[in-house]
């Protein structure tokens, strides 16, 4: 099967300036040429969702894109919908935040409200998920029930000082731990990062 998805960002270097339209298009085209069929962008800055979708058109690749900032749900949702511009077939699913409970930038209740807000504004057939760390789901089982279409958990062995030789096993173990904490099937848990 191989690797199907990758996370990507629309910023240059450490200054976090926006990449140009040509740079974004080049990045997405290159990732698609490597065989990635799902490309995740965390937020709406730099008109990246619009430009990336345009780069995906006709390739079979899709974007995983969404709302990043807990204090800007309404404005980011409006920008996101505007950038998608009706091209929902190119959105694999919509993400709400990234590790906000883990980082303490949002409560479970705030995540739940944000997921509901976004779901009410995108087409019914578009899946919406809250993304957080596997540890956040395990420590906050209420996070499992925020109205997401499925459980989307980040698990990055590198940050847990896990060696490459055991990284795959570690990810599968954490996926199973999240499923148990959330009382769902392992197949209902997607490792997103």
Domain boundaries, the chain: 1-96
Q: How far apart are CA 21 and CA 25, in angstroms?
A: 6
Condensed to tens digits (0 to 9), the pLDDT of residues 129-167 reads 999 999 999 999 999 999 999 999 999 999 889 999 999
CB 56 within 8 A of CB 84: no
Q: Which CATH superfamily is domain 1-96 in?
A: Aldolase class I (3.20.20.70)
The C-alpha atoms of residue 178 and residue 74 are separated, in whole angstroms, by 29
pTM: 0.94
Q: Where are the beta strands (DSSP E) in the chain?
A: 5-7, 11-12, 17-18, 38-41, 62-67, 91-96, 128-133, 151-154, 189-191
Strands 91-96 and 62-67: parallel
Residue 178, pLDDT score: 97
Q: Helix, strand, coil: what percent of the chain each, to 5?
A: 50, 20, 30
Q: What are phi and psi of 178, to 5 degrees?
A: -65, -45
**Do 45 and 80 meet the contact criterion of CB atoms below 8 Å apart?**
no
Task: Quote the mean pLDDT of the chain.
Answer: 95
Percentage, residues of the chain above pLDDT 90 = 92
Half-sphere exposure of 44 (CA within 13 A, CB side): 21
Alpha carbons 76 and 80: distance in angstroms, whole number: 6
Residues sharing a CB contact under 8 Å with residue 48, sequence separation 6 or more, in sequence order: 10, 18, 19, 24, 41, 83
The predicted pLDDT at position 3 comes to 55
Q: Please enumerate in sequence order all residues whose Cβ is within 8 A of that of 60, keeping only pairs 6 or more positions apart, or say none.
A: 37
Instruction: Name the band, by pLDDT with cuts 50, 70 and 90, for residue 187.
Output: very high
pLDDT of residue 1: 38
């Amino acid at each position: 099967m191989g690797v199907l998805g990758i996370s990507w960002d629309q910023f240059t270097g450490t200054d976090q300036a926006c990449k140009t339209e040509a740079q974004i298009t080049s990045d997405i085209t290159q990732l698609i040429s490597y065989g990635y069929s799902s490309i995740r962008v965390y937020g709406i800055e730099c008109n990246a969702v619009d430009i990336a979708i345009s780069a995906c058109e006709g390739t079979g690749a899709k974007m995983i894109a969404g709302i990043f900032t807990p204090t800007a749900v309404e404005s980011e949702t409006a920008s996101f919908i505007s950038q998608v511009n009706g091209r929902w077939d190119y959105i694999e699913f919509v993400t709400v935040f990234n590790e906000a409970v883990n980082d303490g930038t949002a409560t479970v209740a705030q995540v739940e409200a944000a997921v509901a807000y976004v779901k009410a504004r995108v087409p019914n057939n578009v899946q919406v998920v809250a993304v957080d760390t596997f540890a956040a789901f395990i420590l906050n089982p209420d996070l499992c029930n925020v109205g997401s279409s499925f459980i989307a958990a980040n698990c990055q062995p590198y940050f847990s000082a896990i060696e490459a030789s055991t990284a795959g096993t570690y990810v599968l173990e954490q996926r199973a731990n999240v499923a148990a904490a959330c009382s769902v099937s392992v197949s209902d848990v997607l490792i997103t990062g």
